[in-house]
Structure 1
Amino acid sequence: MPASRIILGTFLLLVLIYTAIAVTPNGFEDGGHTKVSALMMFLGNEHSVYILDKAEGNAAQVAGHVAWASVWDIELREAKTQDVRSNVFCASGMHLPNGSFAAFGGNDAVGPGGKVGNQKNPGSNTGQWDGTYQNHDGRKAIRIVSPLNCRITDQLDRMPCKWYDEDDLIMKRHRWYSAAEATGTGEVVIIGGFVTGGYINRWWPNTDPLYSGGGAEPTYEFYPSRPEEPRIMKFMETTSGLNAYAHTYLMPSGKMFVQANLSTILWDYDNNIETPLPPMPKGVVRVYPASGATAMLPLTPKNNYTPTMIFCGGSDMADEMWGSYASPAYNTWTYPASKDCQRITPEPIDKSRPVVYEQDDDMPVGRSMSQFIALPNGKYLLVNGAEFGTAGYTTSGTPDTPFDQMPFGQSLAGQPVLKPAIYDPEAPRGKRWSQEGLFESRIPRMYHSTAVLLPDASVLLAGSNPNADVVLDAAFPTEYRADIFYPSYFEAEIRPSPKNVPTKLSYGGDFFDITIPASSYKGSANEAAESAKVVLIRTGFSTHAMQMGQRFLQLDNTFTVEKGGSIILHVSQLPPNPNLFQPGPAFLYVNIHGVPSNGTYVIAGSGNIERQPIGDISNLPSSVRLDNVQGGDDGPSSSNSPTKDQKNNKNGEKSNNMVLIISAAGGAAALVVLVIVAIVIMKRRRAERMRRVAEASRALPVPHSRPWDHHENSSQTAFVAYSKDDGAHDWNASSPALPGGQYQDDTYSTYSSQYEQPYDPYTSANRYPPGPQPSPGYASPQSSHLYPYSESPLYPPPQHRYNNR
């Protein structure tokens, strides 16, 4: 073979290898297989994403039955199944203060085709248990997992890595499609829901808007459970029919912003007092199954940490077109989704300012089932969804179209939107949306699709399953493929590598220092320091076009530029109001010139469900600039012009000929070696990137005295790290799909005597394994400021939101 061909072949192979292993900014990369379809998803720690599906006929197995939960490893891009006892279909979810996550409610037990389980609840046509899919009724279930130190190499069927899903930890009411929102103490308010399910939460005509003939649950309750019975929420009656998965956001005052159907309120959940706010403009429904995108925009020192919500997309179908529990009364897949966007600021600083919805820029196209992902640079990524139709599916058709004539199988939506969009809340009106340079996804993400921000600031997309059970040959099949979107900041040659990042933050208290090495930025040190932003992102519990609990908060900071080019960021603790950023897990990112670092896992607050300790605001030192200091190491300047020696040195020419000879002789061997090296590189490259994430996350905190040592709300409970079991448990692909006999989950006593009793995750000895909470209140011998509900009101918010320096 001629030497020139070998060289050309080698060059082309190198190009292909580079293309295969390189990240494509503004594009997507293969994320592997999730084992179960990602109906729900959340980032559990710096290594793992937790995935929940409904009980259905997945090929993947766990504990001798079909699986409907898995853990996806960020570094390996592989998943391992995990056992969940009850049917978690369309549950709600929320973080807890110690880094645990809870999933509330779900569906009754089902078998193949989504049919009612073969063991019925007494006096009801709902499933108590199904012997084929081996799932229990999940409508009252509270499931808790504590993922902090858990990876797929650990034993996911052992505490603390397993899901706690037992009959001794349940809600007081059946709830399917309920809403959930954390409070400033860390407890969770669980709102509304269906009792037995359907398309929307009513019959038509709607003669019983409160209970819908027993199909609707109009009450709310708390986790941990309060002693009183659930109370009726009037808003559920006002919004009857279109109130599943109500949009909820805790406000600085401690009240809750709630939006459903076309109605909006501020709600004092302790006293059950509703304050009406203006209705959603233009008749656009944003909640399920219209499923518009919604988010709280960044809380920053600039806006004085004032929450503003954005709502985009959904549907403006007329009320009667929504139909009833049975199905929509219209061929929804022919109806265009809305492109309208609205903003609202429920608690403005200027109390004379009216609280109204404000028109925002329209999206590039109408979308239903899309969701906002907060990016560390303060922008929002919009992904997933369809341009026509709504969420949901039907196996019986609509009044106008028999099922066998529906164009997209069971799906009530069509025309997937494959191209993401970027929303910039700081841009002027008319310029907030952009799709410039963005690539399309190869995978339609329709009903039951999810997305979540990863520690390296990329975004994982997974799921899509508008089907009652697993269907692999539909227009929109049950989807197991994941992909990863890389925003434009992955174009940067250098990303910040902050040092000394704390792993625990308080509400108020002493500031801390983060070091930005000179090697992790380029150009003027002063400009880099002035551009620096330290942000916290809670990535949320992703399901049904929502990120439950997602928040973005920028910490205040000043800086000192040092002679060697290092930048010391002096960073404030969280504002002294837990209602702004509820206690629990988050990731801390440092941005330089809009390019984020890898995120560091942190816990905000005490780690307990309690009145959070509050410290005074610490004054930051003045910023110190230093001229003529540069970051990075650009090396000597280079030129494409040939040197004198290259022009005149014949030995150099001979040397080049020798290279050709060597290339020809070893070309074939080189091709083989390069292929092998490429495979190794593609594996190792991802591993190295995630090791850097882990290294950043393990950075030691700067030592400071506790900011609440002398505060009247001081808690004596110390933060205790999780423990883990280092054993391994691999998914067995050869496990039989449907073994005989009724499956029963193992009890704790199978593993260790310490698990024989229900677990309290907030005692010091058992701090992080999940389980039921003390009753009737928060009282714990290890927590001096935990209290029963009957003795103390919920924590009142500070009189000020936060005082800027």
Structure 2
Amino acid sequence: MAMKSDGFFFLLVSLILLISACRGQQLPGTWEVVLENAGIASMHTAVTRFSTVILLDRTGIGSSRLLLPRDRCRIDHSDSSLPAGGRDCSAHSALLDPSSRRLRPLSILTDTWCSSGQFLPDGTLLQSGGDLDGLRKLRAFSPCSFDGHCDWLELDSPILADGRWYATNQILPDGSVVIIGGRAAPSLEFYPPTRPLRSFPFLAATMDAQMDNLYPFVHLLPDGRLFIFANARSILYDVDTGDIVREYPELDGGPRNYPSGGSSAMLPLDAADGYAKAEVVVCGGAQYGVFLHRQTDMPAGTTCGRIVATDPDAAWAVEEMPFPRVMGDMVMLPTGEVLIINGAQAGSQGYDMGSDPCLNPVLYRPDQPAGLRFMVLTPTDIPRLYHSTANLLADGRVLVAGSNPHYFYRFNGAFPTELRVEAFSPEYLAANKDGLRPAITAAPERVWYGDEFEVEVEVALPLVGQMEVNLLSAPFATHSFSQGQRMVRLSVSPEVTVKEGGVDGIATPYKYRVVCKAPPDGRVAPPGYYMAFALNQGVPSVARWVQLVP
């Protein structure tokens, strides 16, 4: 009897020790503060082909904490929070160099509150809409190196045919941009305006008392048609004919679009299946009525819906996330996994409408079996609620900025306006992966559709398995959705050894040449600049920027 008791006690102690060890184990990923004070809370964020980052807030809220040169002040008589005369000498946009951690103020004149954006084929960021004097405005930012003099250009012509507040932009196969929806705007239009304004009754049909169809989720499928999701409904839309080709089944779990604050991403398009399959994931959101009744402590949604949008019999498969989440951002990583980051566990989008910050990022691994796809990652200690963003950098980190749950800048209370900029490093950037990490030593700056091109890489250790080369777009991130986000897995030939490493015991790198085939056309990857990552056993290189051209 004593032996049985001793054995039970030993097992109990072992179990307690095992649980304690697991609890103390470091979760994957690390955080660092890139900038202690950006001066502005970035409501909209985009990474340029120079690997600089455009930070953009709104005007109409008084002065920020970042000053403009005196000769670049703006006059805004409609902003009652400014001194008499409406003179604003603070910046509401800035250019950040994450590598040197330098910041340069930019000039924005019209109100970009809840606006939209998309990069054009030449690398220019087209920025559209906003509120008040920005409602029908178009702006352009043609990027340059950090030490250059590029700045925002407010376009006098053309102007938007409809006011676009809370709209979504998507680049099309020919390099033009479609601008969809917005508050009181159930329509779509194009830039350049070579096609007329088009009514879009689907948005009127998905409008409810708390809206829930703003910032619709829009994904360009590899057949050139659009998957458009609003509220809890989605359609396949032929943007050329203006026809709704089909309506998909409704996604259970409540509304997902603004102000209910879910997010969405399209999983990688893959040359292995001829780029024929496109899967869309929609995660999180708020319960209906939370925004209307200001139920800030109402738990957020816990589900992700996943659908093969190109399947004739497409149906949603629903999975449970480790945490409820509203106002989360979904960022495509070079591995094809999706980082779900930022947000709250209760409430909705809107000023002072969220609570219980969700500090842990979660990795969604689409190729794992259902039930094993989510991995909880290292938490931050900085809440990122309403008006926060997340963007992939060319070095593989994810830049996190913003969070201003208040109408004006407010630096006291539970969730103050956040001016710090962070970077999250996924596990693939850990030091113990350095021996596997490839470095791209040569790649073309420009690639034509369907052409073969070569990429040369160096690796400290000899390759095991096939090198991957993936193209990732630079999206415009705002309000929990990255407009234009896209990843394409290229067809690659077996690598050719250029130089053997480690000769005579000296730690020299192994050098390889990989032949890649560019995407066939703009339906798979619209023209423009992409980050080209080489991957070795799931460990990515620093990306090279490549322009994909017709």
Cα distance in 1, alignment partners of residues 324 and 273 from structure 2: 29
Cα distance in 2, alignment partners of residues 181 and 461 from structure 1: 22
**CA deviation string 1:776-797 (max 9, x = no partner):** xxxxxxxxxxxxxxxxxxxxxx
SS in 1 for 2:45: strand
Matches within 5 A, 1:180-195: 180-194=169-183
| 2:482 aligned residue | 547
Moved more, 272-281 or 335-344: 272-281
| Cα distance, 1:47–1:355 mapped onto 2, change above 3 Å | closer
How far off is 1:563 after superposition?
Answer: 6.1
Contact 1:521 1:592 in 2 (8 A): no
Unaligned runs of 5+ in 2: 1-26, 74-88, 502-509
Matched, 1:311 2:282: yes
| 1:231 aligned residue | 198
Cα distance in 1, alignment partners of residues 292 and 187 from structure 2: 27
| 2:507 aligned residue | none
SS in 1 for 2:214: coil
SS in 2 for 1:572: strand
SS in 2 for 1:338: coil
Contact 1:337 1:387 in 2 (8 A): yes
| 2:220 aligned residue | 250
| 1:150 aligned residue | 145
| 2:380 aligned residue | 441
The letter of the residue matching 1:49 is: V
| 1:699 aligned residue | none
Cα distance in 1, alignment partners of residues 476 and 468 from structure 2: 25
**Greater share of helix:** 1
| 1:504 aligned residue | 446
Cα distance in 2, alignment partners of residues 563 and 593 from structure 1: 20
Cα distance in 2, alignment partners of residues 41 and 191 from structure 1: 19
Matched, 1:561 2:505: no
| 2:348 aligned residue | 390
Matched, 1:41 2:57: no
Cα distance in 1, alignment partners of residues 427 and 466 from structure 2: 17
Cα distance in 2, alignment partners of residues 254 and 604 from structure 1: 17
Matched, 1:107 2:131: yes
| 1:759 aligned residue | none
Contact 1:467 1:478 in 2 (8 A): yes
How far off is 1:429 after superposition?
Answer: 1.1
**CA deviation string 1:321-356 (max 9, x = no partner):** 26xxxxx332321211111111111213xxxx5121
Cα distance in 1, alignment partners of residues 409 and 125 from structure 2: 26
Unaligned runs of 5+ in 1: 1-23, 109-136, 156-160, 195-215, 323-327, 394-410, 606-611, 613-805
Seq. identity, % = 32
Contact 1:535 1:555 in 2 (8 A): yes
* 2:466 paired residue among 531, 549, 563: 531
SS in 2 for 1:302: helix
How far off is 1:301 after superposition?
Answer: 2.4
How far off is 1:380 after superposition?
Answer: 1.4
**CA deviation string 1:572-617 (max 9, x = no partner):** 3322121111111110010111111101111111xxxxxx3xxxxx
SS in 2 for 1:35: coil
Cα distance in 2, alignment partners of residues 183 and 40 from structure 1: 21
Cα distance in 2, alignment partners of residues 452 and 596 from structure 1: 16
| Cα distance, 1:499–1:278 mapped onto 2, change above 3 Å | same
Cα distance in 2, alignment partners of residues 369 and 145 from structure 1: 27
Matched, 1:264 2:223: no
**CA deviation string 1:631-669 (max 9, x = no partner):** xxxxxxxxxxxxxxxxxxxxxxxxxxxxxxxxxxxxxxx
Cα distance in 2, alignment partners of residues 302 and 425 from structure 1: 16
Cα distance in 2, alignment partners of residues 168 and 516 from structure 1: 45
| Cα distance, 1:358–1:304 mapped onto 2, change above 3 Å | farther
| 1:592 aligned residue | 536
Q: Larger Rg: 1 or 2?
A: 1
SS in 2 for 1:61: coil
Cα distance in 2, alignment partners of residues 346 and 441 from structure 1: 34
How far off is 1:102 after superposition?
Answer: 0.8
How far off is 1:251 after superposition?
Answer: 1.4
**CA deviation string 1:410-469 (max 9, x = no partner):** x1010001111111111111110011xx32111100000001111110111010011111
| Cα distance, 1:150–1:334 mapped onto 2, change above 3 Å | same
How far off is 1:313 after superposition?
Answer: 0.6
Cα distance in 1, alignment partners of residues 283 and 334 from structure 2: 21
SS in 2 for 1:378: coil
How far off is 1:227 after superposition?
Answer: 5.3
SS in 2 for 1:264: strand
Structure 1 stretches of 4+ with a deviation exceeding 6 A read: none
| 1:579 aligned residue | 523
Contact 1:347 1:355 in 2 (8 A): yes
SS in 1 for 2:152: coil
Matched, 1:355 2:297: no
Contact 2:298 2:347 in 1 (8 A): yes
Q: How many pairs does the alignment contain?
A: 487
The letter of the residue matching 1:561 is: T
Matched, 1:329 2:292: yes
Contact 1:46 1:455 in 2 (8 A): no
How far off is 1:567 after superposition?
Answer: 4.8
Matches within 5 A, 1:91-240: 91-108=115-132, 137-147=133-143, 149-151=144-146, 153-155=147-149, 161-194=150-183, 216-226=184-194, 228=196, 230-240=197-207
| 1:720 aligned residue | none
| 1:27 aligned residue | 30
The letter of the residue matching 1:486 is: S
Q: Which has the higher relative contact order, 1 or 2, with Cα contacts under 8 A spaced 6 or more apart? A: 1
Cα distance in 2, alignment partners of residues 536 and 369 from structure 1: 27
Matches within 5 A, 1:285-684: 285-305=255-275, 306-317=277-288, 321=289, 328-348=291-311, 353-359=312-318, 361-393=319-351, 411-435=352-376, 438-491=377-430, 492-494=433-435, 495-509=437-451, 511-517=452-458, 520-522=459-461, 524-525=462-463, 527=464, 530-558=465-493, 559-562=495-498, 564-565=500-501, 566-605=510-549, 612=550
Report the TM-score, using the length of structure 1 for normalisation.
0.59
The letter of the residue matching 1:53 is: D
Cα distance in 1, alignment partners of residues 475 and 362 from structure 2: 20
| 2:78 aligned residue | none
Contact 1:25 1:490 in 2 (8 A): no
Cα distance in 1, alignment partners of residues 122 and 99 from structure 2: 24
Contact 1:508 1:574 in 2 (8 A): yes
SS in 2 for 1:581: coil
Cα distance in 2, alignment partners of residues 380 and 334 from structure 1: 27
Q: CA RMSD in A?
A: 1.7
Contact 2:440 2:543 in 1 (8 A): no
| 2:85 aligned residue | none
Cα distance in 1, alignment partners of residues 423 and 514 from structure 2: 33
Cα distance in 2, alignment partners of residues 88 and 563 from structure 1: 52
Cα distance in 2, alignment partners of residues 470 and 260 from structure 1: 30
How far off is 1:368 after superposition?
Answer: 0.4
Contact 1:219 1:231 in 2 (8 A): yes
Contact 1:337 1:367 in 2 (8 A): yes
Cα distance in 2, alignment partners of residues 521 and 313 from structure 1: 41
Cα distance in 1, alignment partners of residues 466 and 367 from structure 2: 15
Moved more, 467-476 or 416-425: 467-476
